[in-house]
Structure 1
Amino acid sequence: MSNTENIKKAYELAKERYAALGVDADAAIEKMKGVNISLHCWQTDDVGGCEVKHGELSGGIQATGNYPGKATTIEEIRADLEKVLALLPGKQRLNLHAIYGDFQGGVVDRDAIEVKHFQSWIDWCKKQGIGMDFNATCFSHERAADGFTLSSKNEENRKFWVEHVKRCRAISAEVGKQLGTPCVHNTWIPDGSKDTPVDRNGYRANLKKSLDEAMAVKYPKEHMKDAVESKLFGIGVESMTVGSHDFYLGYAIANNILICLDNGHFHPTEQVGDKISSVLQFVDEVLLHVTRPIRWDSDHVVTLNEDVQLIASEIMRNNFLNRVNIGLDFFDASINRIGAYVTGTRAAQKAFLIAALEPTNDLVKLEEAGKNFERLAMLEELKTMPFSAVWDYYCLQENVPVGADYIAEIQKYENEVLVNR
C-alpha cells in the first residue's frame, strides 16, 4: 500500500471517530480556507531590511544567532518566501515592513518612501496570488536613537515619524487597491523610558496627537485597514512604554480601527485568547501577531502550545475568522530560518484545524446545563483524538509535504541554496 493510500485510509478512520462526536472532518478542512496567515518577511533576514542602514535595532527587537544562509538581498528574501509558501497548505499573505522597499541601492529616507519603492513587491504578490500587509518601521533609525518617535518631544523628529506613517498608510491603500484585498497597516513604536519618567502624560498626549495627524486621511476599508499595536516593555524601555495596551485599546475604540494583539506583548500570565472576545465587543476587527514568548517578548518560533490553541479556539468557536486578521511575529537566527518559518506557521495552522474539529455546540450545551464534569471530560478526550490523520490528509489535498517530509525539503534547500550565500 502506498503512503498516499495509508494517509487516505487513516483519514477515513479518523473521520469516523470525529463523526461519532458530531464533527464533520471534511467541513473542518473546508473551514481552513478562511485561515490566511500573514507571513512576516523579517524572519528571512533577522529584521535587516533592504534600505541603506539608518541605525541599529532598537526597542527590544533582537534576533539572536548567526545561522548560515541569511537572506541579504531582496531577491533572496523573495526566493525564501516562495520556498516557505510552497511548503504550507492553504493560501497565505505577505507582511512587509517599510524597510524592505525596493530601493535599488539608493538612499531613501523614511519620510520620502513612495508606492514606487514597493511596486515590485505588489507585482510579486500578484504573481503569487496572495494579499499583502504593511508596517511603518519606527525603529533602527538615528531619529529613534533617544527612544522616542511619534511621542517625541523633539518636534522635528516627531513630524518626521508622522510623515513616515502617513506615507506608509498611503502605500498600504495602494497595495490593497492593486491586489484587490484590504492591506492591514500596523503601527508599532518602541517609545518608552528605561528609568522612571515624570511626564508620562506628555509623551502619551504627543502620541495621540501624532496618530491623529498621521491618520487624518481616511482610505476605503476595502483598500486598507489601520491597526495599532501595544507592548508591555522592551529592552531599554523597562519602566514605561508610551503605547501601552490601555492607550491603544482606547484609541482603537475611539477611532474604530484595529487593535493588534501580539501574544508576546503582555504579562506572561495574560492570555491573548482571553482578550479576543472582549475587544471584539467594542471594535470591528483585530489583528493578531502570533508568537511564542519565553519570559518576555522574545519572539520564539510558534509551537502548538496551549496559548496558541486558545487563540485559535476562541476564533473558531465564535466564527470570528472574518473579524480577525492573523499574522505571525517571530524571528530566530539560531536555526535554519526557513525551517523556523515553516515549523512556526504549520504550528499555527494546526491549532486552527484542531479548533475546527471541536464539537463546540455540544460543549456549549453541556456548559449551559451546568454539566461541567462532562465538559471537562470531553475537552480532555479531544486532546487524544486522531487529529494528525486529518492534518496529513489536509496537506495531501493541498499538495504540500505531509508530516515530517518538509524537513528533508528544507534540508535540500539549505544544501542547494542557503550554503552558497
Structure 2
Amino acid sequence: MRIAVQKFGGTSLATQELRSRVYEIIRNTRDEGLNVVVVVSAMGRKNDPYATDSIINLVKEINHEPEPREMDIIMSCGELISGVVLSSQLTAMGIKARFFTGEQAGIVTDGNFNKAHILYVNPKKILECMEEGLVPVVAGFQGIGENGEWTTLGRGGSDTTASALGVALNAEVIDIFTDVEGVMTADPRIVDNARLLDAITYNELCQLAREGAKVVHPRAIEIAMQSGTPLRIRCTFSESMGTLITHQTHDSMDPVKFISDRLITGITYTSNIAQVKINSQSLQDKKGLELKVFRSLALAGISVDFINVQPDLIMFTVAEDAAVRTLEVLKTIGLHPDIELHCAKVAVVGAAMTGIPGVMAKVVEALEESNIPILQSGDSYTNIWCLLKREHMEQAVKALHDKFELGNK
C-alpha cells in the first residue's frame, strides 16, 4: 500500500474556504495513486476561538497554575475540533473520511504531561480505515500514556505525530503543509533576497530548527531521519513542491547531487536571551563551583544553554523570562553574577562546514564590517553561533547571509 502522510497546520484549517484547498491537495494526492493519512493541528492561531492558546487561556484566567493532567486534556480539544470539522467537510465534498484521536490512532507516549515523547505507534486502526477506502484524519499533538492518561507532545507536536505515523506506516513521504513556501536561507521578513531551498539534509534542517527556524519541530525531523523517510515542507496555498528533506537528493534521470556539498545552508536566530557571567577569580573556595551552579539551576527547573566554563569564569545563557529567577537561585549559593539582558543568538548552519578552514573568519569579518560586537561564540560540526545584543540581530542575519552569498543560486 502506497501511503503519504500529510499534516496541515492551523492556518490551513481556519476557514471553510481554506479547508476546501486542503480537500484539493488530498484529492490530487489520491489521484496520483497514494493513500492519504491526514494529521491536523488546532484551527487558527493565537487569539482565534479554537486555537490552543485560546483554550489554555480559558483555564488560566481562573487558575494560573492548573494541574498538568487537566491542561493536557483541555489542550487536546483544539485538534479534536479541527479533525472532526475537516473529516466532515471532506466527506461532504466527496472524500469519505474518518476522524481518530491520538489514542485511537495508536500513539502511545511515556505518560509525561505537557511534553510527552512517543514510545511507539500501533497503526492498526489507521490501516483498517484505509483498507475501507476512507481517509483517516488524526488529531496531532496528542497521545495516550501506557497508564491510560491523555498526554500532549509539546509545541510543534503535530509535526511529531505526522513523522511518527509516517514511519510506522512506511509512508513514501511525510508532507508538512504550512503557510510558508518551504525552508529559506534566512527569514524573508529580515532578508529580502532569502532563497527557497529545494532540498536540505535532515541534519541541516534539525540544526536550523534547534537554532530558531520554526518551519518544523526538530523531533519530527529526527524521527523521519531514523528511518530515512523523506520529509517535505510545503505551502498549502501554493503549487510549489517546497523543500525536500532527506539524506541526499537526485532525480533518477540526473547525476546524483549530494546536497551536503553546499558549505552553508542558512542563517537563523533566537531572541529573548539573557547572558549570565559568574567571575570566580575573587572567590576563596572554588572547589565544586561548576557542579553547584548547574545543579542548583537544574533543581530550579531552569534550562541553560551556550555554556562556557573557564578557570575563573562561567558563562551561559537562559531565556530572558528566567533571568530574575536565575539571579535568585545563584544568590542562594552566595553568587552575584553579571547578567546581560536583551541578547540574541545568530547561527550559521551547514553540514559541509566540518573541517573547512576560514568559516569562522568569515563570520567574524561579516560582523566586524557591520560594527557588531560578539558577546560569546560557540560551534559544533554543523553550525557556528554568536551571541549578540538583540538590537544587532537583524543586521547580523543580513550581513552573514550576504557574506556567504546565500542569495545566489
TM-score by length of 1: 0.27
* Higher gyration radius (CA): 2
Higher RCO (CA-CA < 8 Å; seq separation 6+): 1
